[in-house]
Amino acid sequence: MSDPADLTIAAAGAKLRSGELSSVDLTEAVLERARMSESHLHAYLTLDQTGAREKATAADAALAAGDDRGPLHGIPIALKDNMCTKGIETTASSQILAGWIPPYDATVVSRLQAAGSVLVGKTNLDEFAMGSSTENSAYGATRNPWNTDTVPGGSSGGSAAAVATGSALAALGSDTGGSIRQPAALCGVVGVKPTYGLVSRYGLIAFASSLDQIGPFTRSVEDSAVLLEAIAGHDIHDATSIRGEIPNFRGSLHHGVAGLKIGVIKELSGPEIDPEVRTSVSKMHDALADAGAEVTEVSLPSCEYGLSAYYLIAPAECSANLARFDGVRFGLRSEGATTEEMMAATRAEGFGPEVIRRILLGTYALSAGYYDAFYGQAQRVRTLIRQQFAAAYEGVDVLVAPTSPTTAFEIGAKTDDPIAMYYADVCTIPINLTGDPGASIPIGLDSADLPIGYQVMAPSLGEERMFQVAQAVEDIANFTARAPLATSEVVSP
Amino acid sequence: MTDYEAVIGIETHVELMTDSKMFCGCPVKFGEPPNTTTCPVCLGLPGALPVPNSEAIEGILQIGTALGCQVADTSFFHRKNYFYPDLPKNYQISQYDVPICHDGEIQVEVDGEDTKIGITRVHMEEDTGKSIHVGGGGRIHDAEYSLLDFNRSGVPLVEIVTEPDIRSAEQARAYGAELQRIVRTLGVSDARLEEGSMRFDANVSIRPAGAAELGTRAEVKNVNSLRSLQRAVAFEIHRQIELVESGGVVVQETRHWNEDSGKTTSMRSKEESEDYRYFQEPDLVPIEVSAAWRDAVREALPELPAARRARYQGLGVDARVAAVLVGSEDAIGDLFEGAMNAGGDGRLIGNWLSGEAVAWSRAEEVAIGDTPLVPAHLVELAEMVGDSTLSASAAKQVLAGVLAGEGTPGEVAESRDLIQISDSSVIEAEVDAVLAGHADAVASIQAGDNKPFGFLVGQVMRATGGKADPKQVSDLIRAKTGG
Amino acid sequence: MRADASPSPVSIAAMPVEIDIAKVASLARIALSAEELARYGAQLGAILEHAERVQQLPTEGIPPTSHPVPMTNSFRPDKVTESLSPDEALSGAPAAEDGYFKVPPVLGDE
Residues paired with residue B102 on neighbouring β-strands, in sequence order = B70, B121
Residue C30: closest C-alpha in chain A: A344
In a domain, A385, yes or no: no
- The pLDDT of residue B418 is 85
Q: List chain A residues with CB under 8 Å of B278.
A: 366
**Helices and strands: H and E segment counts in chain B:** 16, 16
Domain count, chain B: 3
Q: What is the mean pLDDT of residues C90-109?
A: 91
| Pair A454, A284: CB distance under 8 Å | yes
Q: Are residues B411 and B433 in the same domain?
A: no
Contact C66 A210 (CB under 8 A): yes
Q: List chain B residues with CB under 8 Å of A240.
A: 282-285
Contact C89 B35 (CB under 8 A): yes
- The pLDDT of residue C17 is 63
Q: Which residues span the domain enclosing A189? A: 4-261+477-490
Q: What is the DSSP string of C35-81?
A: HHHHHHHHHHHHHHHHHGGGGGS--TTPPPPS-SS------B-S---
B285: how many CB neighbours lie within 10 A of its CB? 23
What residue type is assigned to position A411 of the chain? I
In a domain, A116, yes or no: yes
Contact A424 C6 (CB under 8 A): yes
Cα A191 to Cα A196: distance, rounded to the nearest angstrom = 15
Asked whether residue B131 carries a pLDDT value surpassing 90, the answer given is yes
Find the range with the poorest average confidence among A151-155, A248-252, B284-288: A248-252
| Pair B198, B191: CB distance under 8 Å | yes
Cα B250 to Cα B214: distance, rounded to the nearest angstrom = 12
Q: Which residues span the domain enclosing B472? A: 424-481
What residue type is assigned to position B189 of the chain? S
CA of A39 vs chain C CAs: smallest distance (Å): 23
In a domain, A468, yes or no: no
Find the range with the poorest average confidence among A287-291, A394-398, B219-223: B219-223
Rg (CA), chain A: 21
Q: Are residues B231 and B370 in the same domain?
A: no
Residue C108: closest C-alpha in chain B: B84
What residue type is assigned to position C35 of the chain? E
Cα A436 to Cα B430: distance, rounded to the nearest angstrom = 101
| pLDDT, tens digit, 9 for 90 and up, residues B353-400 | 999 999 999 999 998 889 999 999 999 999 999 888 888 888 999 999
Contact B143 C105 (CB under 8 A): yes
Pairing of strands B156-162, B4-15: antiparallel
Q: Choose the closest CB to C65 out of A103, A331, A386.
A: A386
Q: Choose the closest CB to B145 out of C67, C83, C102.
A: C102
- The pLDDT of residue C7 is 36
CA of B282 vs chain A CAs: smallest distance (Å): 5
Residue B140: closest C-alpha in chain A: A338
Helices (H), B198-304: 226-245, 291-300
- The pLDDT of residue A490 is 46
Q: What is the mean pLDDT of chain A?
A: 96
CA of C38 vs chain A CAs: smallest distance (Å): 12
Q: Are residues B475 and B385 in the same domain?
A: no
Contact B19 C72 (CB under 8 A): no
What residue type is assigned to position B308 of the chain? R
Please name the residues in contact with C13: beta carbons below 8 A apart, sequence gap of 6 or more. C42, C46
Cα B340 to Cα B350: distance, rounded to the nearest angstrom = 10
In a domain, C46, yes or no: yes
In a domain, C42, yes or no: yes
| pLDDT, tens digit, 9 for 90 and up, residues A407-434 | 999 999 998 888 888 999 999 999 999 9
Q: Is B191 helix (H, G, I), strand (E, B) or coil?
A: coil
Beta strands, E only, A132-186: 170-175
Residues paired with residue B20 on neighbouring β-strands, in sequence order = B27
| Pair A93, A137: CB distance under 8 Å | yes
Q: Choose the closest CB to A236 out of C56, C71, C76.
A: C76
- Cβ–Cβ contact A95 with B under 8 A: no
B389, B415, B441 — which closes off a domain? B415
Q: List chain B residues with CB under 8 Å of A104.
A: 39-40, 45, 48
Q: Are residues B139 and B169 in the same domain?
A: yes
Q: Which subunits sit against C, judged by 3+ Cβ pairs under 8 A?
A: A, B
Asked whether residue A32 carries a pLDDT value surpassing 90, the answer given is yes
A-C contacts (CB, under 8 Å): 225
Active site (catalytic) residues of A: 80, 155, 179
Q: List chain A residues with CB under 8 Å of B284.
A: 239-240
Cα A455 to Cα A280: distance, rounded to the nearest angstrom = 12
- Cβ–Cβ contact A330 with C under 8 A: yes
Residue A371: closest C-alpha in chain B: B277
Most B CBs within 10 Å, among A86, A243, A328, A380, to test the B interface: A328
For B141-176, b/e burial (b = at least 16 CB within 10 A) is eebebbbbbbbbbbbbbbbbbbbbbbbbbbbbbbbb
Q: Choose the closest CB to A343 out of B44, B83, B146.
A: B83
CA distances from A67 to A59, A72, A107, B215 (A): 9, 13, 22, 75
Q: What is the mean pLDDT of chain C?
A: 84
Pairing of strands B156-162, B145-149: unpaired
Asked whether residue C1 carries a pLDDT value surpassing 80, the answer given is no
Q: Are residues B165 and B262 in the same domain?
A: yes
Q: Are residues B227 and B112 in the same domain?
A: yes
Sheet containing strand B145-149, edge to edge, reads: B130-134, B145-149, C100-103, C96-97
Contact B147 C105 (CB under 8 A): no
Asked whether residue A234 carries a pLDDT value surpassing 90, the answer given is yes
Contact C99 B34 (CB under 8 A): yes
Residue C73: closest C-alpha in chain A: A239
Helices (H), B8-83: 54-66
In a domain, C92, yes or no: no
Q: How confident is the model at residue A487 (pLDDT cuts 50, 70, 90)?
A: low
- The pLDDT of residue B468 is 82
Asked whether residue A237 carries a pLDDT value surpassing 90, the answer given is yes
Geometric angle at alpha carbon A283, from A279 and A285, rounded to 5°: 115
Asked whether residue B136 carries a pLDDT value surpassing 60, the answer given is yes
Q: Which residues span the domain enclosing C36? A: 9-58
Cα B199 to Cα B32: distance, rounded to the nearest angstrom = 21
What residue type is assigned to position B281 of the chain? E
Contact B83 A323 (CB under 8 A): yes
Q: What is the mean pLDDT of residues B319-323?
A: 90
In a domain, A66, yes or no: yes
Cα A19 to Cα A22: distance, rounded to the nearest angstrom = 7
Sheet containing strand B253-258, edge to edge, reads: B70-71, B101-110, B113-126, B156-162, B4-15, B198-208, B218-223, B253-258, B263-269
Q: Are residues B363 and B476 in the same domain?
A: no
B386: how many CB neighbours lie within 10 A of its CB? 12
Q: How confident is the model at residue C9 (pLDDT cuts 50, 70, 90)?
A: very low
Q: What is the mean pLDDT of residues A314-327?
A: 98
In a domain, A37, yes or no: yes
Q: List chain A residues with CB under 8 Å of B46.
A: 84, 90, 92, 97, 100, 102, 205-206, 324-325, 330
| Pair B17, B222: CB distance under 8 Å | no
Q: What is the mean pLDDT of residues A153-180?
A: 98
| pLDDT, tens digit, 9 for 90 and up, residues A292-310 | 999 999 999 998 899 999 9
Q: Are residues B269 and B310 in the same domain?
A: no
Cα A375 to Cα C66: distance, rounded to the nearest angstrom = 10
- Cβ–Cβ contact C100 with B under 8 A: yes
Q: What is the mean pLDDT of residues B261-269?
A: 84
Q: Which subunits sit against A, judged by 3+ Cβ pairs under 8 A?
A: B, C
- The pLDDT of residue B462 is 86
Cα B356 to Cα B363: distance, rounded to the nearest angstrom = 10
Q: Are residues B316 and B430 in the same domain?
A: no
In 3-state terms chain A splits into helix, strand, coil percentages (rounded to 5) of 45, 15, 40
The two most distant CA atoms of chain C are separated, in Å, by 59
Most A CBs within 10 Å, among B45, B76, B270, to test the A interface: B45
In a domain, C103, yes or no: no
CA of B330 vs chain C CAs: smallest distance (Å): 27
In a domain, B298, yes or no: no
In a domain, A296, yes or no: no
In a domain, A384, yes or no: no
Residues paired with residue B122 on neighbouring β-strands, in sequence order = B101, B160
In a domain, C44, yes or no: yes
Cα A452 to chain centroid distance, Å, stands at 16
Q: Is B382 helix (H, G, I), strand (E, B) or coil?
A: helix
- Cβ–Cβ contact A79 with B under 8 A: no
Q: Is B108 helix (H, G, I), strand (E, B) or coil?
A: strand
Domain count, chain A: 1
Q: List chain C residues with CB under 8 Å of B144.
A: 105
What residue type is assigned to position B158 of the chain? V
Q: Choose the closest CB to A311 out of C3, C47, C56.
A: C47
**Helices and strands: H and E segment counts in chain C:** 3, 2
CA of C1 vs chain B CAs: smallest distance (Å): 36
Domain at A194, CATH number: 3.90.1300.10
Cα A306 to Cα C50: distance, rounded to the nearest angstrom = 11
* Residue whose C-alpha is closest to residue A324's, from C48, B217, B87, B235: B87
Q: List chain A residues with CB under 8 Å of B88.
A: 324, 328-329
Q: List chain B residues with CB under 8 Å of C105.
A: 133, 140, 143-146
Q: How confident is the model at residue B139 (pLDDT cuts 50, 70, 90)?
A: low
Q: Are residues B88 and B159 in the same domain?
A: yes
Contact A238 B44 (CB under 8 A): no
pLDDT > 70: what percent of chain A?
A: 98
In a domain, B14, yes or no: yes
Q: What is the mean pLDDT of residues A147-176?
A: 97
Cα B65 to Cα B343: distance, rounded to the nearest angstrom = 32
Geometric angle at alpha carbon C17, from C13 and C20, rounded to 5°: 105
In a domain, A183, yes or no: yes
- The pLDDT of residue B275 is 93
Chain A 15-34, residues with CB within 8 Å of chain C CB atoms: none
In a domain, C69, yes or no: no
Q: What is the mean pLDDT of residues B208-214?
A: 91
Q: Is the dihedral of CA A130, A365, B77, B23 positive or negative?
A: positive
Q: How confident is the model at residue C13 (pLDDT cuts 50, 70, 90)?
A: very low
- Cβ–Cβ contact C94 with B under 8 A: no
Cα C59 to Cα A379: distance, rounded to the nearest angstrom = 10
Write down how long chain A is. Answer: 493
| pLDDT, tens digit, 9 for 90 and up, residues B424-472 | 888 888 899 999 989 888 888 888 888 888 899 888 888 888 788 888 8
| Pair A330, B45: CB distance under 8 Å | yes
- Cβ–Cβ contact A490 with C under 8 A: no
A8: how many CB neighbours lie within 10 A of its CB? 18
- The pLDDT of residue B447 is 86
Preceding omega of A155 cis (within 30 degrees of 0): yes
Contact A424 C62 (CB under 8 A): no
CA of A199 vs chain C CAs: smallest distance (Å): 13
Residue B55: closest C-alpha in chain C: C78
CA of B54 vs chain A CAs: smallest distance (Å): 12
Residue A374: closest C-alpha in chain C: C52
Q: List chain B residues with CB under 8 Å of C92.
A: 45
Contact C105 B146 (CB under 8 A): yes
Q: Choose the closest CB to B282 out of C66, C72, C108.
A: C66
Q: Are residues B265 and B353 in the same domain?
A: no
- The pLDDT of residue B273 is 63
ipTM for the complex shown: 0.96
Q: Are residues B158 and B194 in the same domain?
A: yes
Q: Is B428 helix (H, G, I), strand (E, B) or coil?
A: helix
pLDDT > 70: what percent of chain B?
A: 97
Cα A473 to Cα A440: distance, rounded to the nearest angstrom = 10
